[in-house]
Structure 1
Amino acid sequence: MSFIFRNQLHLLWIVLLVPLVGVLPLQGQPVDDVISSDKGLSALTSTGNFAKDTMLINKYNQLARKYLFHDASVTIRYAKEALALCQKNHWDRGKLDTYNLLSTYYLIDGSYDILREISNESYNLSIKLDLPVYKAYAERFLAESYAEYREFDKAYFYFESALATFIKYKADSAQALCLENIANYHREKNEWELAEENYNKAYQLNDQLNNPFGKASVLQSEGYMCLRRLQFQKAENLFYRALAINKSINNRYGLLNVYNDLNNFYYITNDFDKSIEIGKLALDFSKRYHSTLHTNWALNCLAKAYKKKNDLPTTVEYLEQISFLRRLTHQERIERQFTMSQLMFDNKQMDIEIQNKTIEEQNAIQVFLIGILVLSIIFAIFLWRANINLRKKNVEIKGALIKGQTLERKRVAAELHDSLGGTLASLNWYLYGIDKKILPDHERTIYNSIQQMVGKAYKDLRSLSHNLMPDDLETHGLVLTIQRLVDKLNENNEISFTFDVSGLDERLGSKVEFEMYSIILELTNNILKHAQAKLARIQIEADPQFINLTVSDDGIGLRVKTDGGMGLGNVRNRVQSLSGTLKIQIENGTFIFIKIPRT
């Protein structure tokens, strides 16, 4: 039944794009006839002119949206072309539009890892451009990624934040979608009355807006709730109402989603003939939509239904198709992940180049002005200015060193994620494609061990690449970055980390934040590797003169290296660079006290 919930989430987001793009040009026309008229359009390259390229970007995005409900392959083709042109022309507003479109596509495709990366990019870019509505769109997509991994509290937080923005700026269609998302949240917690209340609000708002997409989505989501409550007649009625709306507006994606839900509905209610009839419709629409993911879902339901009817040859036939599509889906996903990662990496590199050029120009102007000033004053003032410039240069050198370390960490993190991370992800997906049921018991044990180790290695690598240099440190500061680090550490359920902070109401200097983050990261890694602890605590207390950092655990105690090896050497060096002190107490665990002067 889990795949129904996923279908519901997919359809929810598609509703959002309707108020952005207006009425679809396909509405009221035969779908296949209209699509065939544009599929032959070739992807153009950059014209070399910014104004013409922006028009071309808008055209690509318009075409991508046009086919979003009808042909996934055409949508992703034009969206990628638009993003590449946005990067070439450094057009941030165009990137936001394309990111929203790609986020919807990857939501439909079920690529939640890519969705979260793109949503984070959109979130940061919308803050940079001071576009709160776009920020709310990014928050909604982030919420969807958290909902997929059943982190409902985080999802609810982002849904509520987005809803407040939409209400403030009167984005009514997006507001209706958030109400439906909140209803789904209550549904997953079995809070039926709250769920039904929010479904009614969402449906009424969509009805006022004359938004058939939104109405169909609410009906389908509520139908799933009724199915979970075993209210079969009501669930079937809601599914068919949603189906009728999608038929009236030629929404191919909406149709295949409802057919998949009905397919599963009849399977659950043991009407296997009806399940097969509807499943074949779902399969036909999924193939025409060019989505291997949805095709695989339809095949899976058909195989289960034929198995219940003891039609083993047909069951085997569908299972063979499922096996082939799984391999195909794996290959397509790896290619998409590589392409998107490369595009996003190139985007960051271009942004860094622009920033460096701006800094170089500003430095050149500053040097020129200083030279003019020096030539216009007497010799004594010249000596005084020379001394000031020398101090300033020392500060710039220190800042450059910190920046260099930061950029190097980002580079290493990106290389780890893009190269080794891609290899591990490929291996993991390939393992998922193996049917372990056909393996002997001892080989199945080996297979399970390999699968667990590869999964853990991939998770550890993702955590390492993020922790090397999180974007949050520059954007949000030390406190929020450490809190998010602790949240990630607690995901492994082996050691419980807590984080307490007091007296630190403002941000510290970039060097202090960078060094303190590196110290905490080093110490937490030591705890994970060597402490054998159950509980660990990170505490920061600040007063007007000092910052006190305490990291403790209840483990076996830290063996301090004295041979000059890595050990705590890196920590000592960083503390010394901040003119601080370090003390270690080993008694019923390890207690590390660090005191740094607040300059």
Structure 2
Amino acid sequence: MAELLSKKKTFSTDTSLINVYCELGAKYTILKNDSAIYYLKKALVTGGKINHVEGLLKANVQMGRYYFMQFWPNRAIEYWFKALLIAEELKLPEDIKYLHGRVATCYMLIGNYKDALDYFQKYSDLCKKSGITEEYLMSLNNIGVLHFNNKNYTSAMHYYNLCDSLNYKLKSPKAQTAVLINKGKMHVELKKYDEALQGFNEAIKIEDEYDDRLAFVNNEIARVYLLKNKPDEALKYAKKAFANVIKANAEMTGEIAKTFSDVYEKLGMVGLAYKFYRDYAEIRLSEDSTKNSRLHKLVQVDYDNEKSIAKIANLNADLEKKQANANLMLVGLLALLILVIVIAIYSQYVANKNKVIEKQKTEIQKLNESLENKVAERTAELTTANQELTMKNQEISEALLKGQTMERERVASELHDSIAGTISALKWRFEALDRDKLSVKEQEIYDGILSNLHKAYAEVRLFSHNMLPTEFGEKGLVAALNRLLGDMSIISLQTRFELDTTQLHTNVRQEVAFEVYTCCFETINNIMKHAKATKVMLTVKETENHDLEVIIEDNGEGFDTKLANRGKGLKNIASRVSRINGKQEIMSEKHKGSKLIITVPESFWEA
């Protein structure tokens, strides 16, 4: 990798780097090492710079695997969705099938059974195209599990039976035990305990490479005997489950401890019942603590990596800027040196000519004519240079506007993809809590937090959409303002927004339109936050003096205009108005609303 980093940056070396980063990410993912996220982030950044879609697909898939193995399905699903979009664009059927299965599994883990069912159905259809394989049979089984979780037992049994019948020829032990266990669990729910026991006992006899199979199934049998009020039989199978618990995970060990506690309670052995319940509680608390600790660490790793990447980007930008300044200085020095040489040569030339003039009076007129021609040529050259300088200034101005536009697009994208995604993930995890199990006070707190999450998500989306709407570049200022007021109407149903552009008959220069739109956006946002207005009127018109006039007025609470210069928002607006050679006037009284008037002179705003 050191050799690749030392080479000159080309598409070939960058793609090789992406592959190396992905391989390192995969290696550290298996080791559950946080270095995985560092290398995979670098793969995503490098792939994004050169628009290497295959590399981005690989990096997003691996990033999803990393978060999935860290028990963070909400985060994993974000990257797998990005990978799925790329796979569909490139038309890669195997990747599309794999990602549908991964997304469906994540939805099932977070309790979103509706979307999980939708994606498992798509995954099953894609698997079916490959024939009757174990992968297809397990997809049918998973669909049955989702119907079971939704208490739709008829549909669940349909998919279990379909999986069982198609496995007649394939004879997959994994599919067979899955069907037997899941049918047994459904029989338990339907209180068909004998049928459940029959299925569980058959599942014990099949070897399917499932390490926890014996522990899990024996524990399920013990639970059934408890339901049949046969604690002695339940104890026998609970002991069998415990004997097979060596390879079981912490969650399975906790469930067996819970079964022992229930059995001993049924047998009247309170001391043992308490001991095993305490073991169960400690296992669950330890598991939750471990997961929470890991999640907090992952959030910190995420944050540290984002800071490192941002710092590297800033350093690269500074380096490029310094290099550009150095190149510009070098060009200036060379130009100055050439000018000095030309002046020296020209001075010598004039001196020689003066000597010739003194000796040859007859050639004075010819020399004057020659000088006049040279002056005319020089004047023409200077005129051309001045025109080129004017064009260059225009290009710089356009580049500045383009840079501002790109920065707004970048910030809007960051708001939407990062912050909105994080809030959305928090909202999903919070909604996974069972509200009905909370106390009345806790339910009030739950509703308040969830409401604030929805509000924060809506506000972030509003800011990301309106920092630079697509209508601005495509249809101009009026369309962008229409879009802005439409979005505001959706956010605040109690406020009516009106736009009047009937007296505007000339297109507005793009850089002026850019600043006017930003002033309107900030002013209306301030009104929404502070004014408690029920009506906001925005007027954009051309005055009799052909000036551009923008009026924003509301019927809200109003404010003390003497304090206007203290607000950061109003200072920002004043700064933007001065950039377009404009003037602003603020009028407001307490409880009588407010009005902001921005005036831009004719010479500055017309396109």
Q: If the length of structure 2 is used for normalisation, what is the TM-score?
A: 0.54
Which residue of the partner structure matches residue 530 of structure 2? Answer: 566
Please state how far the C-alpha of 1:221 moved relative to its aligned partner. Answer: 1.5
Does 2:283 correspond to 1:319? no
Which residue of the partner structure matches residue 230 of structure 1? Answer: 191
Does 2:124 correspond to 1:163? yes
Aligned equivalents of 2:124, 2:266: Cα separation in 1:
44
Q: Quick check: 2:64–2:80 contact (8 Å CA) kept in 1?
A: yes
Which residue of the partner structure matches residue 81 of structure 2? Answer: 123
Please state how far the C-alpha of 1:355 moved relative to its aligned partner. Answer: 8.5
Which residue of the partner structure matches residue 86 of structure 1? Answer: 40
Residue aligned with 1:310, SS:
coil
Q: Quick check: 1:272–1:308 contact (8 Å CA) kept in 2?
A: yes
Residue aligned with 1:230, SS:
coil
Residue aligned with 1:262, SS:
helix
Please state how far the C-alpha of 1:205 moved relative to its aligned partner. Answer: 4.8
Which residue of the partner structure matches residue 295 of structure 1? Answer: 253
Residue aligned with 1:78, SS:
coil
Match of 2:225 among 225, 246, 266: 266
Please state how far the C-alpha of 1:313 moved relative to its aligned partner. Answer: 1.0
Task: Count the aligned residue pairs.
Answer: 427
Aligned equivalents of 2:181, 2:39: Cα separation in 1:
37
- Alpha-carbon RMSD across the aligned residues, in angstroms, is 5.7
**After superposition, where does 1:70-469 map in structure 2 within 5 Å?**
77-78=31-32, 82-87=36-41, 90=44, 93=58, 96-97=61-62, 99-100=64-65, 103=68, 106=71, 114-128=72-86, 130=90, 133-147=94-108, 151-168=112-129, 172-188=133-149, 191-205=152-166, 211-245=172-206, 248-283=207-242, 285-286=244-245, 288-291=247-250, 293-345=251-303, 380=387, 383-384=390-391, 386-387=393-394, 390-404=397-411, 407=414, 448=439, 451-452=442-443, 455-456=446-447, 459-460=450-451, 462-463=453-454, 466-469=457-460
Which amino acid is 1:448 matched to?
S
Aligned equivalents of 2:199, 2:418: Cα separation in 1:
51
Aligned equivalents of 1:227, 1:582: Cα separation in 2:
67
Which amino acid is 1:404 matched to?
V
Higher relative contact order (Cα pairs below 8 Å, separated by 6+ residues): 1
Which amino acid is 1:273 matched to?
D
Which amino acid is 2:210 matched to?
N
Please state how far the C-alpha of 1:56 moved relative to its aligned partner. Answer: 5.3
Larger Rg: 2
Structure 2: gaps of 5 or more residues: 1-15, 45-54, 336-380, 496-523, 541-549, 557-607
Aligned equivalents of 1:473, 1:353: Cα separation in 2:
23
Cα distance change on mapping 1:394 and 1:94 into 2, 3 Å = closer
Cα distance change on mapping 1:563 and 1:394 into 2, 3 Å = closer
Deviations 1:484-522 (A, max 9, x none): xxxxxxxxxxxxxxxxxxxxxx99999889957973674
Aligned equivalents of 1:570, 1:405: Cα separation in 2:
28
Aligned equivalents of 2:555, 2:125: Cα separation in 1:
48
Greater Cα offset, 359-368 or 407-416: 359-368
Match of 1:523 among 485, 492, 509: 492
Please state how far the C-alpha of 1:214 moved relative to its aligned partner. Answer: 2.8
Aligned equivalents of 1:220, 1:400: Cα separation in 2:
56
Q: Quick check: 2:261–2:272 contact (8 Å CA) kept in 1?
A: yes
Residue aligned with 1:252, SS:
coil
Deviations 1:422-456 (A, max 9, x none): 9x99xx99xx9xxx9xxxxxxxxxx9356445544
Q: If the length of structure 1 is used for normalisation, what is the TM-score?
A: 0.54
Cα distance change on mapping 1:189 and 1:460 into 2, 3 Å = closer
Which amino acid is 1:99 matched to?
G
Q: Quick check: 1:180–1:202 contact (8 Å CA) kept in 2?
A: yes
Cα distance change on mapping 1:330 and 1:470 into 2, 3 Å = farther
Cα distance change on mapping 1:314 and 1:199 into 2, 3 Å = same
